Amino acid sequence: MGLINYNIEKYSPQQLVVIPLVLLVLSLAFVAFYMATTGMPVTPGLDFSGGTAVTIRTTDSHDQLRTVFADYPLVEISDMNDAKFLKFGTMDDATSRSLSALVSEKYADASINQISETFGKSLQYQAFIALIFSFIGMAIVVFLSFRTFVPSVAVVLSAFADMVMTAAAMNLAGITLTLGTTAALLMLIGYSVDSDILLTNRVLKRQGKLNDKLTGAFHTGISMTTTTFAAIAVLFVVSWIGSIQILMEISAVLLIGLFFDVINTWLTNVGIIKWYVLRGGGK
């Protein structure tokens, strides 16, 4: 089965879903491990865990900076053109003031941003609620649109798998959960459902042979996904060159999510829809 000649006639529904099912089980296990470790399915970033972000213009190496800030909870150092971006964990007031004084003394043009742990927890809760309500709203709209149990479950399951697999990949890639990546996950729900609804509508509401309808839906859907993928890839490259951290994180999450969406739409959803139609469901 290739991207050009999409022919699943020789594959049974069970064969179609086995690969994404294995990926989903592994992703769920990985996300559960992070949930038990950090209390969140994805490692929380500064926005949600609280801490201090410092941007400085310096030629010091990462090792030199770790030596300078050895007495403080330095979590991460990243390069931004001719500047360095440092993330520190939560600190008490005295340590925080000491860090601010040290930064001001050694790096006159530095910028310091602080997020309290309490505020971070509040943002964390709000982001979780936003994701849950968005997913529930999507599921309700899907069930009202099709009013048929199996196709609706297939769409919701594919979207759920996209989210879980993307979360697992974020942990593997070291992408933390921030306000930016949360926005990307919310956008991913819409992207996921779009291709799944296209597929389901083509199969259930059009006349013709099943494989012909699946092939037609694939060519339309993959064209849409490829166009979106290319646009987001350009955004990622531009943000990486310009060291625009938030755009780079958003585009990276969307690229990962779109990759998994192709797998879950054209294997998982197709497998379930094919099984449903072969069992006498639909027109």
Span(s) in the chain for CATH 3.30.70.980: 51-115
- Give CA–CA dist 241/235, Å, rounded: 10
Strand-strand pairing, 51-57 and 83-88: antiparallel
Q: Where in the chain is the domain with CATH 1.20.1640.10?
A: 13-45+118-278
Q: Phi-psi bin for 86: left (phi > 0), alpha (psi -120 to 50), beta?
A: beta
| The pLDDT value given to residue 281 | 63
Helices (H), the chain: 13-38, 46-49, 62-68, 93-106, 117-146, 149-173, 179-205, 210-241, 245-263, 270-278
> Quick check: 4 pLDDT over 60?
no
pLDDT at 233 over 80: yes
- Count of other CB atoms within 10 angstroms of residue 208: 10
DSSP 45: -
From the CB of residue 227, how many other CB atoms can be counted at a distance below 10 Å? 10
User: Has residue 215 got a pLDDT over 50?
Assistant: yes
Looking at residue 253, its pLDDT comes to 94
**What does the block give as tokens for 149?**
């149990």
pLDDT digits (tens, 9 = 90+) for 122-148: 777 888 888 888 888 888 888 888 788
At 70, is the pLDDT very low, low, confident or very high (cuts 50, 70, 90)? confident
Q: Find the range with the poorest average confidence among 70-84, 85-99, 185-199, 246-260.
A: 70-84
> How far, in Å, CA of 38 to CA of 32, rounded?
10
Per the model's pLDDT, the better-predicted residue between 79 and 275 turns out to be: 275
Phi, psi for residue 78 in degrees, rounded to 5: -135, 150
pLDDT, greater one: 278 or 120: 278
Torsion angles phi and psi, residue 146, rounded to 5? -95, -30
**Residue 2: its pLDDT value, please?**
45
Q: For position 274, what pLDDT does the model report? A: 87
pLDDT at position 282 is 57
CB 12 within 8 A of CB 278: no
User: What does the pLDDT average to over 244-251?
Assistant: 87
CATH class of 13-45+118-278: mainly alpha
Region of poorest pLDDT, from 21-30, 110-119, 261-270: 110-119
Q: Class assignment of domain 51-115? A: alpha beta
Helix (H, G, I), strand (E, B) or coil at 58: coil
Average pLDDT score, the chain: 84
Mean pLDDT of 253-266: 93
DSSP 67-98: HHTTTS-EEEEEEETTEEEEEE----HHHHHH
Residue-level pLDDT at 3: 46
Is the predicted pLDDT of residue 95 greater than 70, yes or no?
A: yes
Q: What is the mean pLDDT of residues 210-234?
A: 88
Residue 256 pLDDT level (bands cut at 50, 70, 90): very high
CA 135/CA 141 separation, integer angstroms: 10
Query: Which range scores top for mean pLDDT: 2-6, 82-86, 105-109, 157-161?
Result: 157-161
- Rounded to 10°, the helix 117-146/149-173 angle is 150
What would the pLDDT profile of 158-195 be if each residue is shown by its tens digit? 999 999 999 999 999 888 888 889 889 888 888 888 88
State pTM to two decimals: 0.81
Whether 166 contacts 256, CB under 8 Å: yes
